[in-house]
Amino acid sequence: MGLYRYRLLLENSDFLEIFERFVVENRRITVTKYSFQWQSSNGALKKRWDNAPHHPEIETYPSHVHVANDDVVLPHPPVTITDILELINNDSA
């Protein structure tokens, strides 16, 4: 088992915090837990994608996205860091 966590400063001064926990079995990496938190330059939450199992009512449980003030939780399929970078790039364009 392993994990990594990064805090990236984006070109527009926003931040992206990345956390993934993973296991390696038969030379294959499987992510078991993730959180990708996108914040504005002043620290306000823009979006957070994660698979914490605290919203069983969501159809994509456990994967979901928190939007803006964290009170809004929406269904979202599982994502990878590549997906997140593409989503942020498209949303910022």
Q: Per-residue pLDDT tens for 15-24?
A: 999 999 999 9
Q: Tell me, what's the pLDDT at 79?
A: 97
- pLDDT tier for residue 71 given thresholds of 50, 70 and 90: confident
Report pLDDT digits (tens) over 11-58: 999 999 999 999 999 999 999 999 999 999 999 999 999 999 999 999
Residue 47, number of CB atoms within 10 A of its CB: 20
Q: Beta strands 15-25 and 28-39: pairing type?
A: antiparallel
Tell me the C-alpha distance between 74 and 59, whole Å: 9
- Band of pLDDT at residue 93, cut at 50, 70 and 90: low
Q: Which domain holds residue 76?
A: 2-92
| Number of domain units in the chain | 1
Q: What is the pLDDT of residue 84?
A: 97
